[in-house]
Amino acid sequence: MDNTDSVEQLLALLTEQVAQLDLFDQLLEREYSALQQHRSNDIYAIASEKGLLAEQLDQTERAQQQKVTSLATTYGVTPQLSSLAIVLASNPLGNKLTALESSLLALIKQCRQKNQLNGTIINAQQLLTEKTLAILHGQTATERAKLTYGRKGKAENITSHHTLAKA
């Protein structure tokens, strides 16, 4: 197998990653919409889809890293896409490599920002739900202020650990 075949295989992996990240971006958009409209069933389904797609992205990333390492060793450069793009700059495949790398980096940044925004919304909704439940359970504002997080990451009343408070 010559280097052109290896570079083409790398380009195929990068193209696959771009497609997967596009799907992930679309899932994040759907998740944002579901969060805004409080559609819990959709949120759970999307979370499941995100998990599966994240696994696929991880597999593609590992294959891509192996190919990059192999090609970098062949060309005697550091195992990074940017290093390979420089070495292949005079080759038409090098231009494609650079373009795909730019697309990947932009999509990764975009997905990270959307995922952080969705996480912030989820945390805010969870806090609101916890406060609402506390009110429904008859806790006063003072009692809610005594809440802390326990070992399992759930809100607990500080006095709930003391046997005197339970008596």
The whole model's pTM is what? 0.75
pLDDT digits (tens, 9 = 90+) for 49-82: 999 999 999 999 999 999 999 988 988 888 888 8
The pLDDT value recorded for residue 2 is: 63
Domain boundaries, the chain: 3-121
The pLDDT value recorded for residue 1 is: 45
Cα–Cα distance, 19 to 71 (Å, whole number): 23
Cα–Cα distance, 74 to 152 (Å, whole number): 49
The pLDDT value recorded for residue 147 is: 61
Query: What is the sign, positive or negative, of the torsion defined by CA atoms of 64, 67, 71, 76?
Result: positive
Per-residue pLDDT of the chain (167 residues; tens, 9 = 90+): 467 888 999 999 999 999 999 999 999 999 999 999 999 899 999 999 999 999 999 999 999 999 999 988 988 888 888 888 888 777 788 888 889 999 999 999 999 999 999 999 999 888 888 888 878 887 766 665 566 667 776 666 655 444 444 44
CATH number for the region 3-121 comes to: 1.20.58.300
First CA to last CA across the chain, in angstroms? 76
The pLDDT value recorded for residue 139 is: 73
The pLDDT value recorded for residue 116 is: 97
Cα–Cα distance, 3 to 77 (Å, whole number): 14
Beta bridge partners of 155: 149
